[in-house]
Amino acid sequence: MSAGRSFVIVTGMSGAGRSTAAKALEDLGWFVIDNLPPGLLFAMAEEAGKVKLAADKVAAVVDVRSLAFTTDLNAAIEELEARGVGVRVVFLEASDEELVRRFENVRRPHPLQGEGRLVDGIARERGILREVRANADLVIDTSSHNVHELRNKIVAYFGGEDRPGLRVNVVSFGFKYGLPVDADLVVDCRFLPNPHWVPDLRPMNGLDTPVRDYVLGQPGAKEFLDAYEEVLRVVAAGYAREGKSYATLAVGCTGGKHRSVAMAEQVAARLRDRGMEVQVSHRDVGRE
């Protein structure tokens, strides 16, 4: 495989959507092989180069069933990079509760539970994959995604592979529902007055013009956006130097309905004005 090519490894928790992600990549024209032992990654990369597959469109799905998973995977990545192949790791995860629900729905045991409980297998897998997740280039939490939403997210990240630059996902959320676990950066908009306490605005959300105007008209809103835009300029430049291609920015308020939604839209608009490819999602709108 010639220098300059890049290779994507899709991994993560069992039940978190690896097969869905692989199918989405295939639909985008990628060559994908499933359940590949880490020790065979370089051999696959070499074969892909011999048959002249499209550069930057080769991926492998690797799971925890390789008993020496973390050692094998880290060694395989080091070998690929030493031979001039750029490697990007996509890690899929979901909450314990959601993984239990998914395994129970399909009536299958977790691959690592053995004679124990389902939650024991999940806990063991999290421990094995902890280092892999920490070093992943892109972490996607699929807890609240169905297969179509996960597919759309994969397409959003990888559908524009011919366009260089940082691809950003801006997500609004409510702190009372928990932090997005796949966020790279988190900011808090609870310093702004809450439209929830304005009767006419309460039923609306941050996509509605009256709420947006109310939020953006508050003291500190513009100053916050100006300052955060400058922070993101510095961070994006650093990500580029480090070869990071994807970033998830989380913007939170109490319930994820008013302030965070309006501010997330503004952050996304400013990043687009800087020429970045940006996707926006509002995790908790409609949840109350």
Q: Is 63 annotated as belonging to a binding site?
A: yes
Q: Is 16 annotated as belonging to a binding site?
A: yes
CA angle (26, 27, 30) in 5-degree steps:
35
Q: Is 181 annotated as belonging to a binding site?
A: no
Q: Is 15 annotated as belonging to a binding site?
A: yes
Q: Is 6 annotated as belonging to a binding site?
A: no
Q: Is 12 annotated as belonging to a binding site?
A: yes
What sections of the chain are H helices per DSSP? 18-27, 41-50, 69-82, 96-106, 118-135, 147-158, 209-216, 221-242, 259-273
Residues contacting 187, CB < 8 A, separation 6+: 228, 249, 250, 251, 252
CA distances from 176 to 88, 149, 190, 253 (A): 33, 23, 12, 9
Residues contacting 66, CB < 8 A, separation 6+: 37, 38, 39, 72, 73
Instruction: Say whether 61 sits in a helix, a strand or coil.
Output: strand
Listed residue (120, 114, 20, 9) closest to 70, CA to CA: 9
Residues contacting 162, CB < 8 A, separation 6+: none
Q: Is 160 annotated as belonging to a binding site?
A: no
Total residue count of the chain as it appears in this document = 288
Q: Is 260 annotated as belonging to a binding site?
A: no
Q: Is 281 annotated as belonging to a binding site?
A: no
- Give dist(CA 272, CA 73) in Å, integer: 36
- Give dist(CA 228, CA 264) in Å, integer: 11
Q: Is 14 annotated as belonging to a binding site?
A: yes
CB 137 within 8 A of CB 90: yes
Residue stretches of the annotated binding site: 12-19, 63-66
Residue stretches of the annotated binding site for GTP: 63-66
Residue stretches of the annotated binding site for ATP: 12-19
